[in-house]
A and B are shown apart, each in its own frame.
Chain A
Amino acid sequence: MKSRFAVKMFLTMFSLVVVGSAYAHHGNSAYDETRTITITGTATEFDFVNPHTQIYMDVKDDKGQVIHWSVECNSPGIMRRSGWTRNSVKPGDQISVTLNPAKTGVPVGFSGGKTGKVVLGDGQKLDMSPK
């Protein structure tokens, strides 16, 4: 219950309500496409694989508790067209990911719609879909 509350608090803090169409790979009702949030933390894993690239990262909430987030992204082919490579994110990198969170409130999200993007520690922005 405590972790659920923490996640909710976290989402509340960082939520920016943006209505837009997502670009989900299969079309994915697991995620709340009416909400777009940005989370910032430390990348722990980056899987640049088909058919879904994945980013895993640790994010501290407002109480300092580390929440482990899992992020579904587009296929490598779509992301390459926006400048991604398999080395774009490495474990230990500080990154900000803009995503649609899971409807259930678990720390899982989809970053692949028109608003999906990652900002790297050096300020470089990588969109998830070609603009």
Chain B
Amino acid sequence: MRNVSWKLIAAFTATAAASLVTFPMAGQQAPATKAAAAPAPKRELSGVWQFQSGGGAQGLAPEKDMPPMTPWAQARFATEKPGYGSRATTEGNDPILHCDPMGFPRVIFLPTPFEFVAAPGRMLQFFEREHEWRPIWTDGRSLPKDPDPTWYGYAIGHWEGDDTFVVESSGFNDKSWLGATGYPHSEDMRTVERYRRMDHDTIAYDITVYDPTAYTKPIVAPQKTMKLLAKTDEIEELVCVASEEEAFAKKIRIPAVAQPKK
């Protein structure tokens, strides 16, 4: 499981990313043309970025495009009761409904921004959601061979050319979902992301999820667009407070899906 050829993975990702650049998915916002914005600075991603989307439920990939699950994942999927999405139930057990960590990659698809901060030997990614952060090591180290699993995993990054930052991650625990509709992943999940700075204000974002324990094929996400927010914009403190989430559930989330009183 862990000896998947990384070179094959990289080649597959590059091919998939290239095809998606050429044929953006329907409904995706087209990246700004280079004529419409200043040119991209070289090897530079610092700033606050906003994922352009219709909402968190879109997540990694549309449900219809998710590859078949393995029996292991199907069993997990059957136990998952999302509080939102097409299988919404008042008895939801989505980990985030109790303020468990969002985890990666789910956090990246929320309609809340993140900030890239370049530091010696690493790139730091601060997420508004959960006020969480993720170090991406750029000092040439390799991914650890047998890391202790965590919600946000372990990440290394490098530049391809002057405009594309490639991030490889592993070491995730299997407690988070891939999205609000409840798709599981295993501890064997690895991800490859490509942040391609199209111009000063735009990143074209590709991510492929490799998890042969859970899925029969890699999950190739449709290309997403991220926009640079104003320099004055700041990452807010969006912590999930368990007591407040519980009160919200009682007052709105559960009543919203209940049947009207007769």
For chain B, residues 230 to 262, give those with C-beta under 8 angstroms from any C-beta of chain A: 233, 236-241, 244-245, 248, 251-253, 255-262
Q: In the complex the two chains form, what is the Cα distance from A27 to B96 in whole Å? A: 13
A27 near B236 with CB under 8 A, answer: no
Interface size class of B (residues with CB under 8 A): 35 or more
Report Cα–Cα, A30/B84, bound state, in Å. Answer: 7
Of B59, B83, B181, B245, the contact of A51 (CB 8 Å cutoff) = B245
Q: Check B233 against A81 for contact (C-beta < 8 Å).
A: yes
Whether A27 lies near B55 (C-beta < 8 A) is yes
Q: Is the interface of B mostly helix, strand, loop or mixed?
A: loop
Contact indicator B240/A27 (Cβ below 8 Å): no
Contact with B along A96-131 (1 / 0, CB 8 A): 000000101110101000000000000000000100
Say if the beta carbon of B121 comes within 8 Å of chain A: no
Chain B residues whose CB sits within 8 angstroms of the CB of A75 once the complex forms: 112, 236, 238
Q: Would you give the shortest CB distance from A101 to chain B, in whole angstroms? A: 9
Which residues from chain A contact B94 at a C-beta distance below 8 Å? Answer: 26
With A22-B55, A29-B88 as given contacts, are A106 and B252 in contact (CB-CB < 8 Å)?
Answer: no
- A sample of 15 more A-B contacts (CB under 8 A), given A29-B88, A52-B245, A54-B252, is A3-B261, A4-B260, A49-B241, A49-B248, A50-B238, A71-B252, A72-B253, A77-B128, A77-B237, A77-B238, A102-B256, A104-B258, A105-B260, A108-B255, A129-B111
